Structure 1
């Protein structure tokens, strides 16, 4: 049986990596043909462009990972079925479950590589990929649109403001409340806040009002305009939209804990990124089981029928996953259930198809 195991394992890994090697250059060529005008117009240097496409290779390979794995397993398993090799294996007394063992060995290897990629390598590549894209290709969309912000910036202070604009470094209806324990000590408010780039954390407040709370009588301090230091950096309040993609797993967990303390409205988006870094590599086992179940049967239409069924299932997997993630980002649905729902649904399909293929 070791010969059979090594034979299938070798085909599993080689076919998968060959598809990656074949499809990634196609993606690079298509991407370059679409963006070459903008790259030239915005005067991106050769080194920056080469670095962008190195990062794009990693980013694109990770994006296509589920589909390429699925198609590779269907491809070489269908060839085994068409050559009646699977019939020979099973006729020799090998059970269908035993036949699946080398597939799951291969899936384990790919999963480990996928987890390492998604935890550490892909975030680094994503950072370079997105920085180049927003610097040279989408300059106007590099940051979030102006939004309302309500955050706890440290253990004692909470801020609120409307229309934070990272591009203009301004905000309106600004309020800062300072607590000691549960007791409010003072409150600062201003109609407009303007960041002063000449000094660290220096801001100009228009229509400044400071209310100092005491047990007997509150006191008010008013000024038309005041330059003062505030205990936060402006950039931290409106993080760029792709920030979660660029942090490795440990950094992302720390970032989420920090954002929870600040009351960030984007927590679901960040949690989705955490869960996806596990769910996509783990889906390797589910996709492998479905692919084997589809292609282990010798069909009258040959390999083409298996590939058609496989592509329909593979793209359904990606489509449902994208829909679930989008819904979770825009609603109060539990992000863990949203991310893992696709794996759960297709795991049920996989076990049903495995039972059918076994018969």
Structure 2
């Protein structure tokens, strides 16, 4: 690599890191100011608070990676343009494509970092962030996926709960039905089902088991019944954020299992899966757009470039959110919802790059 490449690459990485160091503390301060009352009210241990904000940092840094990068590239490239350094580079015989190379190398480094965060660090941070939120900040609320959950576990077993309290691991109005050769063999009803984690058992309240006989049914009743089931506690109803807390391999297995059960939330889970790969790609697209927009010296200076960049960033976020909601709430394909913004902005990047070369 030549001096020009190292010069731009160092500015690329340094400005991006500085952007993270500037905005993340601001985000933490605003979030802390909003939640400090509930944290003090619930007397949260200091160690848990610090761990929560570490998870908060990783969680949101991963989500906003492309936007932080986009603004940082516009910032330092605009400074190069205002100092006529870009003109000097291009006037020396360097083509615009050659000028873009160190930016793409920097984008590759950031994309690798985004993949590592998405596959390994972000899932753990998401779990810690959401668990803390529901434990202390959203007290009285539960991370319930939905009510009236009906699930077919396999060819023979079906379960139902009207609601599920994730914090206390309690399901209400529990029903378990076992079939053989399409005939009901027995049915279990209970007002509540509670998972006892220490003993890995389920405790049923007002337990009633009806075995279907050829002539008469056999009924077994008990005020409380401890038993074991073949399903996991998450099978009752996964929490809203469960897909975000799983590693890539576990997420694929979870999606496959949920598809077999006919889950109505497959779109949400697949969005999380596809975004692990769409975010790194968006890093390259937004880098090209940022360079094409900010490498021109304008009469208004850096302010104009930043204004244009912020507008593009807001449109990108709008597309990402609107298509994400469509995939979650309808049958809109998640893969299209995730990749369509990249496709549109990829075309925009090629158009701007073509004009920038001129």
- Provide TM-score, normalisation by structure 1: 0.90
Cα distance, 1:320–1:197 mapped onto 2, change above 3 Å: closer
Which structure 2 residue ranges, 5 or more long, are not aligned? none
- Partners of 2:124 and 2:137 lie apart in 1 by 19
Q: CA offset at residue 19 of structure 1?
A: 0.7
Cα contact 2:190–2:204 (8 A) shared by 1: no
**How far does the alpha carbon of each residue in 1:38-87 deviate from its partner, in whole angstroms, 9 at most, with x for none?**
10001100111111111112122223212210111001111111111111
- Partners of 1:20 and 1:211 lie apart in 2 by 63
Q: Who is 2:97 aligned against? A: 97
- Partners of 1:173 and 1:30 lie apart in 2 by 42
- SS of the aligned residue for 2:140 comes to helix
- Partners of 2:98 and 2:210 lie apart in 1 by 75
Cα distance, 1:70–1:30 mapped onto 2, change above 3 Å: same
Which structure 1 residue ranges, 5 or more long, are not aligned? none
Q: Who is 1:36 aligned against? A: 36
1:6-85 mapped onto 2 (5 Å cutoff)? 6-85=6-85
Cα contact 1:203–1:230 (8 A) shared by 2: no
**How far does the alpha carbon of each residue in 1:146-199 deviate from its partner, in whole angstroms, 9 at most, with x for none?**
522332324x433142513336834447351334xxx23544335645325567
Q: Which portions of structure 1, spanning 4 or more consecutive aligned residues, are displaced by more than 4 angstroms?
A: 190-193, 196-199, 204-208, 223-229
- SS of the aligned residue for 1:147 comes to coil
Q: CA offset at residue 95 of structure 1?
A: 1.3
- Partners of 1:135 and 1:196 lie apart in 2 by 18
- Partners of 1:173 and 1:201 lie apart in 2 by 11
Cα contact 2:44–2:136 (8 A) shared by 1: yes
Alignment RMSD (CA, Å): 2.3
Q: Who is 2:144 aligned against? A: 144
- Partners of 1:50 and 1:303 lie apart in 2 by 37
Cα contact 1:170–1:192 (8 A) shared by 2: no
- SS of the aligned residue for 2:149 comes to strand
**How far does the alpha carbon of each residue in 1:185-235 deviate from its partner, in whole angstroms, 9 at most, with x for none?**
5443356453255671343566643336xxxx6763345668465433444
- Provide TM-score, normalisation by structure 2: 0.90
Q: Who is 1:211 aligned against? A: 212
Q: Who is 1:220 aligned against? A: 217
1:129-278 mapped onto 2 (5 Å cutoff)? 129-144=129-144, 147-154=147-154, 156-161=155-160, 163-166=162-165, 169-172=170-173, 174-179=175-180, 183-184=181-182, 186-189=184-187, 192-195=190-193, 200-204=201-205, 208-211=209-212, 220-223=217-220, 227=225, 229-278=228-277
Cα contact 2:161–2:171 (8 A) shared by 1: no
- Number of equivalences: 351
- Partners of 1:263 and 1:108 lie apart in 2 by 38
Is residue 313 of structure 2 the alignment partner of residue 314 of structure 1? yes
Cα contact 1:149–1:237 (8 A) shared by 2: yes
Which stretch of structure 1 is more off in the superposition, 125-134 or 289-298?
125-134
- Partners of 1:261 and 1:334 lie apart in 2 by 18
Cα contact 2:74–2:305 (8 A) shared by 1: yes
Cα distance, 1:196–1:304 mapped onto 2, change above 3 Å: closer
